[in-house]
Amino acid sequence: GENVEQHPSTLSVQEGDSAVIKCTYSDSASNYFPWYKQELGKGPQLIIDIRSNVGEKKDQRIAVTLNKTAKHFSLHITETQPEDSAVYFCAASSDSGGSNYKLTFGKGTLLTVNP
């Protein structure tokens, strides 16, 4: 099955700095890579995703890059703000016959943005 490794487990940055979280996956059949943000006491919330036919995607201060050859993808947050503080999870899955499928998550990164 799929295995997703996520680094670092904790990340502390100053407000306004950039933050980068990296993930690797094992299953070459994986073709969908979402990123979730989880705040304390809440469920994970999708913040951005990327599909295997795209190398990079950006949404305001958030960007994700994908290197299928190396089997790794990264989340980039620029101009960080205190409200970006949360646990971030990467995930990977493959499309099996066009229907919904299983997401395999990394262990998460606790991001702390210091004012």
Interface residue list for another protein (CB under 8 A): 4, 6, 31-32, 34, 36, 41-46, 49, 51, 89, 91, 93, 95, 98-100, 102-103, 105-108
Least distance in angstroms from the C-beta of 24 to another protein? 14
At residue 83, the 3 state secondary structure works out as: helix
At residue 6, the 3 state secondary structure works out as: strand
Q: How far apart are CA 106 and CA 114, in angstroms?
A: 24
Least distance in angstroms from the C-beta of 72 to another protein? 17
Least distance in angstroms from the C-beta of 13 to another protein? 20
CB 7 within 8 A of CB 22: yes
